[in-house]
Amino acid sequence: GVGVHAMEGFSVYTALPALTTELDARPLYGAVITTYMLASLVGLVWAGVRTDVHGPSATLRVGLASVALGLAGATLAPTVEVLLAFRCFQGFGGGALTTVIYAAVHQAYPRERWAQTLAFLSLAWGVSAVAMPGLLGLIVDHLHWRLVFALGLPVAGLAALLILPALAQLAAQPASVAAHADRSERATRRSPRALALSLSAVVVGGALVLHGTALSSLPPVATLLVLLGAAAAVLVGLVRLWPAGVLTLRAGLPAAVGVKALACALFFGSEAHLPLAITDVHQRGSTFVGFVLTAAAMAWSSAAFLQARLLPRLGPARVTVLGVVAIGLGVGGLLLLLVPGTSPYLALPLWALSSAGMGFVYNTTSDSALAATCEGDSGATGTALGISDSVGAAFGAGLASALLNNAAPRLTEGLAHGWLALLALALPMALGASRLGGPATLTSRDAAAGPPGPTP
C-alpha cells in the first residue's frame, strides 16, 4: 500500500512539468494534484465506515482496483480532461488505502510498537524513493511521461499479492466499552446521510475554492459570494467529518489531526511547485527533480526512525515542535532558489531538511491519534488522518497555485508568494504541537483499563 502511494507521489510530481506542457494545460497544473486529493476524500470516508464494519481486507481490494483503473486511464488519456477524470479513480483508491493502513496498524500491533511500525512504513516509502524519482525522471526526459503512470500498474498488482493474505486475518473489531461513551453523537455524525452531505460539501466546496478562476465570467461580487459560501461549506463539512475540536486544536486526538493537516498543507503545498523552480527557473530536467525528491524521501525515512527513538523520551509535543522548525527552515530556504545566480543544488539540502521535519511531525501526529483511538474506531481514525493528508495537501497546493497563476507570467514572484503564504501555517502548527502531551501520555486503551495496580 505504501508503495502504491509512493508511486503516485513520485510519478505525478516528476511528470507534471512535461505532462502539462504536452497537453497544453499549465493553468491546470494544480488541478492534476487537487483532483486526486479531493477524490481521495470519498475513498477515505467510504473505507472508514466499511473497515469498521467489515474489516480491512475487502476494502483494500476495492481500493487497489480503483487505483489500477485510474493508472490505466491516465496512461492512455488523450486530453487533460480525460486525465483528470481518471485521477478521480486514483484518488478514491488511494484514500481507501490510507484508511486501511492506519486501521491495520491499530488492530494488528500493540501500542508500544506503533511508532516503530510507522517508521517502517516510512522506510518502505524511502526504499521506493531511492530508485523511483531518478528512474522516473529519466523516463520523462528520454521516453515519455505516460510510462510513469503505466509503471504503477505492476506496483498495485504486487501490493495485492503481498498484503491481501495478511489482511484477511483481521476482521472488524467490536467497539470497546470506552467507545460506547458517546455512541449516540458519533452514530449521528457517521450516519450514511450525514457522511454523504458532509462529504459533498467538502468536495464541491473545495473544488470551487481551489479553482475559483473558473468563475471569472461572473461579476466580482458574485464570485466573492460563491467563494465565501464554498469556503463555509468546506468548514461545515470538515466539522462533521473530523473529530470534534480539530479546528480549535483541542488537546488529544483533535490536535493530532489538526497539526497533521497543517503540516501536509505546508509541506506538500510547497513541494508541489518545487519542480517548477527547478525546471523553469534553473532550467534543469525532470531527472534532477527526481534526485531532489529521492534525497527528500530518504531524509523523511531516516528521521522517522529517529523519531521512534526520541518519542518515548521527549514526548509527542517536543518531537513535533522540532519537526515544525525543520519544515519551516526548509521551506523558507526555498526562497533562495529564486535569487538569480543561486545554485539549483541548494534544493537538495533544503528539501531534505523539510522532509526530515515531516518525518518527525507526520509519524508523531499519527501515533498520537492512534493512541487516542478506542477499539472499534480504528477505521474512523484512519479516515480522520487521511482527510488531514488530503485536505491539507489540497489546500496547500491550491493556495500556492492560485498565487502562482495570479502572478503569471512572473513565475518567481508567484512561487515566492505561495511559499511565504504557506509558511504562515507554521505558527498554528507549533501551537497545536504543544497540546499533544509529554512522554507519559496515555492511550485510550490505557485509560479504558484504568490506572495500573501496585507493583509487588
Query: Which of 51, 75, 73 has the alpha carbon at shortest distance from 63?
Result: 51
Domains of the chain: 2-170+182-444 (1.20.1250.20)
Q: What is the mean pLDDT for each group of 10 consecutive residues in the chain (456 residues)?
A: 55 78 80 82 83 77 90 89 90 85 72 66 60 72 85 82 70 46 49 76 78 66 81 85 87 90 92 87 82 86 87 90 95 92 92 94 87 71 81 82 72 88 93 77 44 36
Q: What's the confidence (pLDDT) of residue 330?
A: 95
**Spatial contact of 414 and 30, defined as CB atoms under 8 Å apart:** no
Whole-model pTM: value is 0.72
Residue of 434, 437, 310 lying closest to 371 (CA atoms): 437
Per the listing, cell 545554485 goes with 343
Note the pLDDT of residue 449: 39
Contact 30, 288 (CB under 8 A): no
Only one residue has cell 480491512, namely 56
Instruction: Map residue 79 onto helix, strand or coil.
Output: coil
Give the CA dihedral 255, 451, 314, 354, nearest 10 degrees.
-30
Smallest Cα–Cα separation from 245: which of 369, 102, 366? 369
pLDDT of res. 326:
96
